[in-house]
Each structure stands twice: as structure tokens, then as C-alpha cells.
Amino acid sequence: MNERAERRRRSEEKILAAARALFAERGYQATTIRAVAAAAAVDPALIMQFFGNKGNLFRLAVTAPSEEPATCDPERLTELVLDVLGVKLAEGPGGSDAAMRSMLTHPEAAAHVRDSLSTQIQQASTAIDDDEAELRAALMLTTLLGVTVGKHLLGLESLRTASPERIVELLRPSLRALANVRN
């Protein structure tokens, strides 16, 4: 009945998975359609036929929900916000790895991360009782962004060798100070 449709869905997912991995590793520009095709064991032209162009592939790779069990939560860093503010955030600061990797060099990725961050800032700020709730929330989330970038994207030794739990513990008082909560 639908052997065709199934094969197609499988191909699409293989391509998206390869694209996610390569975009996350090398960024938008350095990732070629040809490389994605090779990683997915597929012809480059097939990607065009499915996704239209490279920009669209990136958009879907960054937007669409991944089927993998999800890359281990960035340090449970977002749980810190739950800890300190009682607000639950859906994703790590800035969204997917693929989006974050390209956020400084690809305008569309920058917009995606900016939007994701803005949403999280808005959510967090509702739990802060202060005139400058939004600014405080922004500083909290950019702090998490900085730690994530430093540890995962840059691979800073001092952070790579530290235990995630310890990082969370050291960060907690710092975030509390930003949130302006007493204890």
C-alpha cells in the first residue's frame, strides 16, 4: 500500500539527521549539500527535490523535532532556572545545537536563537518580582548561554573537566543573585 511513502519518510529522516549532525558540527556555511548527501548515503539532487534548497533544509533541521533521544541536556543548565525561579524551560538556552553553532555567522540562525532566547527570557521574567525583571532574566539566560558555549562549543578545558553537577551548584547562587531572590 505505502512502501513508497515509507521509503520516502525514511530517506527524509536520514537526510535530516545527517543535516542536523553536520550543521551542529561545522555550521551552516561549511556544511555542503554534498556532504549531507554523502553522510546520508543519498544523491545530492534528492535533497534538493525534497527540501528545495539549502536554506530550507537548515530551517527544517533546526525546527523539526528530532527523533533521537535528544542530545544530553546542556548541563541541565536550564533546570537551574526551574530551581531558582520555578519556571520550566523546554529547550537549552538558544535552542538546538545546529542553530547555536551558526548563530554568529548566519542571520537566520541568529534570528532563531534570538527568538528562542527572547521567549525564555519572557517566561523567566514572569517569575521575578522586580522593576527590571526582564533585564535580570536576560542576564540569567545569557549566563547559561555563555557557559554552554564555553563548555560545549568552544571546549574550554576548565569546564570540560568539571562535573556537570558541580557547575550547576556553583552557578546556583550566581543566578539567585541575578534573580534577586533572598535564599
Question: Where do contacts with its own copies occur on this chain (CB under 8 A)?
Answer: 26-30, 100-105, 110, 113-114, 117-118, 121, 132, 134-139, 141-147, 149-151, 153-159, 162, 166-167, 170-171, 173-178
Nearer to DNA, 55 or 107 (CB): 55
DSSP secondary structure string for all residues of 11-46? HHHHHHHHHHHHHHHH-TTT--HHHHHHHTTS-HHH
Stretch that binds DNA, among 51-59, 126-134, 149-157, 175-183 (CB under 7 A): 51-59
| Beta carbons of 101 and 153 less than 8 angstroms apart | yes
Stretch that binds DNA, among 37-45, 127-135, 158-166, 167-175 (CB under 7 A): 37-45
The distance in angstroms from the start CA to the end CA of the chain is: 62
Question: Around 154, how many Cα atoms within 13 Å sit in the side-chain half-sphere?
Answer: 11
Nearer to its own copies, 12 or 80 (CB): 80
Which partner in DNA, its own copies, none is near 81 (CB below 5 to 8 A by kind)?
none
| Residue selected from 42, 127, 162, 167 as contacting DNA according to rule CB under 7 A | 42
| Binding of DNA by 38 (CB under 7 A) | no
3-state secondary structure string across 124-170: HHCCCCCCCHHHHHHHHHHHHHHHHHHHHHCCCHHHHCCCHHHHHHH
Which partner in DNA, its own copies, none is near 128 (CB below 5 to 8 A by kind)?
none
CB of 41 to DNA, least distance (A): 7
CB of 50 to its own copies, least distance (A): 25
Which partner in DNA, its own copies, none is near 8 (CB below 5 to 8 A by kind)?
DNA
Helices (H), 54-152: 54-63, 77-85, 97-102, 107-125, 133-148
